[in-house]
Structures are given as structure tokens and as C-alpha cells.
Amino acid sequence: MSTFKAPKGTYDLIPPRSAKFLAVREAIAAPLRNSGYGYVETPGFENVELFSRGVGESTDIVSKEMYTLTTRGGDKLALRPEGTASVLRAALEANLHKQGNLPVKLYYSGSYYRYERAQAGRYRHFSQVGAEAIGAEDPALDAELIILADQAYRSLGLKNFRILLNSLGDKECRPAYRETLQAFLRGLDLDEETLRRAEINPLRVLDDKRPEVQKQLADAPLLRDYLCDACKAYHEEVRALVTAAGVVFEDDPKLVRGLDYYTRTTFEFVHGGLGSQSAVGGGGRYDGLSEMIGGPALPSVGWALGVDRTVLALEAEGVELDIARTTDVFAVALGDAKPTVFGLVTELRRAGVSADMSYGGKGLKGAMKDANRSGARLAVVAGDRDLAEGVVQLKDMESGEQTAVPLDALVESVRTKLA
């Protein structure tokens, strides 16, 4: 062990488990790529203002969880705590919304940072794959994203997840609801901080996980009963399109999300095997965000799925991913055969065969141990005498059967045996 450990709340992705993270990222990205979403990558840090304005001062993310720093040049930056504000910033900066048809569809995959109380499923460094459809108001987009997340989870073999759906209304109907809810909350027995939250962002109080708060919220007025006709019609269309695709969801009239910029459609994916960190992903419509960060009106919708929690969910369900074996051929060079064997390994790799070899000048016994440990199906063994005859020994690691193969026929023989 070295003197150092990974910082609190972080962990390293290490083989073989790291292969699951790659597979999860790919499984989430594949249906997006297949649906017109282009890859976007933004910096790991941004101007802190982007998040305080875009995500909202009163959110947990901005008020408690952001890693901020001041550079030597005096710039105030934050490690990105989420992806949406950055992606929208990048799209506006590149004028993507002016260059072609709307919506602009983008997806991303990367690391995010939040100063949280570290526990299972909740880390200070974690990864997300996210998708955003920018610049169009169409229930088909909201539905598309919900269906694509469902497809991604299912392609991984995940079963024990649920989709929760709600509408948060818009600037027409939310203000009246907000006041009604506020009046209701003022009458409850709440601690000071929660009462303060009720004044700044009363909807957030609905999301309070504490049982003593939830108990008092049983009779809270529901936004569902206050939606304006346009929001109601929009929401019904989203529900109908998702239903028609055969994707099962649950209406959750108390579902709100932690970010200020959400309007109308809001949804969360939860998994039953994760204890209290049950959200594997979430998202919704954010029609006001672009204007909040200085852009034009660009109604948009998106989601972010947590890679770490998805891996935990797969493990909780005992799903084994079909992750390809890393090495097909393992080569062992004896005596002076090393340069030739090294050349053969290079040739195999260039031919697309996964190949590795024994390093460090080991003898036959040690090198064959490496071959066994690699899990390779075939071993190539060659010493001076083999090379003098122009052959190498090709060994089937399962049956133990061994044949002499001419040097220039190795790639072909390996291909035949692996097929």
C-alpha cells in the first residue's frame, strides 16, 4: 500500500469491476446515439455563477454540495456538480440552436462532484450519462427520453426499477399553487430551516424525506389539482405516448426534483435494491433554464442517469453482464524466441485478436502460470528449437491439445480455433 488513499467519498474503478462501468455507460449511450443524440463533452469545471444561477441558490447542490475554488487569476470556479447547465451553456456558446433544426439533441458521459455525506451509493465523485433535447416543446420528446432510459436499463437486464412521473406545471399555474402550498406549510409544525425553505421554495419541502415531515404532508395540496389546461393537456399526451410504447410508469403527485429549473414533466427512476439511495436517475423539462443563464427562450427536456448506482442496482439484482473475456491468446517465449514471439503477438493484435504475453523473462513454469491466470483460450509457446523448425506450439488451454503451427500460418490457425 502507498502512503495515500483515495479521498473520502471517492473510490477507484478497478478491473474486473471497472468493466461493468464501461458496459453501463455504453448501454445508456447506445440507444441515445441511435435516436439522434450527438456526443458533447464540456470542462470538468465552470464559472461558479453558471450553477448558482442555473441550478439555483436555494438548492442543496449549490448551497451545500459544490466544490468551489478561486484560481490564482481570481476566477471563481466550481467542479461541475451536474451536467445540464454546462451542456446548455456549451450549446448556446456554439450557437447550436441557430444552426439547424430544433431540438438540438446531445448526450454526455462523465464525472461529477458533490460534497455530500459519503455513504453507500452516495459519493463525492460519481459518474453520470445524460441526455438533453434543447429548444423544442413537444410531449414526444419528454416521452422519448423516458422510453430511452427504460430501454437502456432493460438492455442491461435490470428489472427491479420503477418510473415515477409528475408534472410541476409552468409559470401560468405554478404561482397560484405555490401560494396555496405555502399557506398550508405555514400551518405545520416544522423546524426553522424547513419553514425558511417553505418561503423560498415550498415545492422542495414536499421532497423532505424525514418521516415526521412526511406525516404532516399527507393532506398537502397537490399540484395535479392546480395544473392549467395547457399543462394538463401536455402531461396527458406524455403519459399517453409512454403508455403506447408499453413502458410502465407510476403517477407520483408529490414528486419534485432538487433543481430550480424544472417545469412541467418531471420523472425519476428508482430501484428497489439500493436502500435509501434509491434514485438511479432522474430528469424533466426545464423550459426556463436558458433564459436564466442569459440565453433566448429554449424549452428543453433531459435526464441524467447515475452510473455508480446503476452498477449497484445490477449487483443487487445479481445480473451478470455479458462482458467479453479480455485475452484470447497468451504467448510464452522461451530462450531467444522473444523477438519473434513479440512480433507474432503484435501481428495477432493488428489482426484484431486480443493477445497478451509473459513478460520479465520468466521460465516455462512461471510463464504458463501467467497464461492460466489470463483466462486465455489459446497459448502460443515457442523456444529456440521450435523456431529452428519455423513453427510455434499452439495449445488449447481447455483440452490441453497442442499442435505445431508454421509461423506464417499462426493468425489463420488462431482465427479458426477461436471461431
Q: Which residues are annotated as a binding site for L-histidine?
A: 82-84, 114, 128, 132, 257, 261-262
Round to whole Å and give the CA distance between 83 and 321. 27
Radius of gyration over alpha carbons of the chain, in Å? 27
Task: Report, in Å, the least distance between residue 277 CB and ligand ATP.
Answer: 6
CB 273 within 8 A of CB 257: no
Task: Report, in Å, the least distance between residue 351 CB and ligand ATP.
Answer: 40
| Closer CB to ligand ATP, 301 or 381, in the complex | 301
Task: Report, in Å, the least distance between residue 81 CB and ligand ATP.
Answer: 8
Kindly provide the b/e burial profile for residues 140-156, where b requires at least 16 CB atoms within 10 angstroms of the residue's own CB: ebbbbbbbbbbbbbeeb
| Closer CB to ligand ATP, 61 or 353, in the complex | 61
| Closer CB to ligand ATP, 304 or 348, in the complex | 304
Cell triple for 238:
406524455
| Closer CB to ligand ATP, 110 or 299, in the complex | 110
Task: Report, in Å, the least distance between residue 283 CB and ligand ATP.
Answer: 7
Round to whole Å and give the CA distance between 371 and 91. 49
Of 77, 82, 76, give the one whose Cα is nearest residue 55.
82
CB 129 within 8 A of CB 23: no
Of 10, 217, 229, give the one whose Cα is nearest residue 125.
10
Task: Report, in Å, the least distance between residue 48 CB and ligand ATP.
Answer: 17
Interface contacts to ligand ATP, rule CB under 6 A: 82, 114, 116, 122-123, 126, 128, 257-258, 277, 279-282, 304, 306, 308-309
Cβ-based neighbours of 412, under 8 Å, separated by 6 or more:
none
| Closer CB to ligand ATP, 57 or 412, in the complex | 57
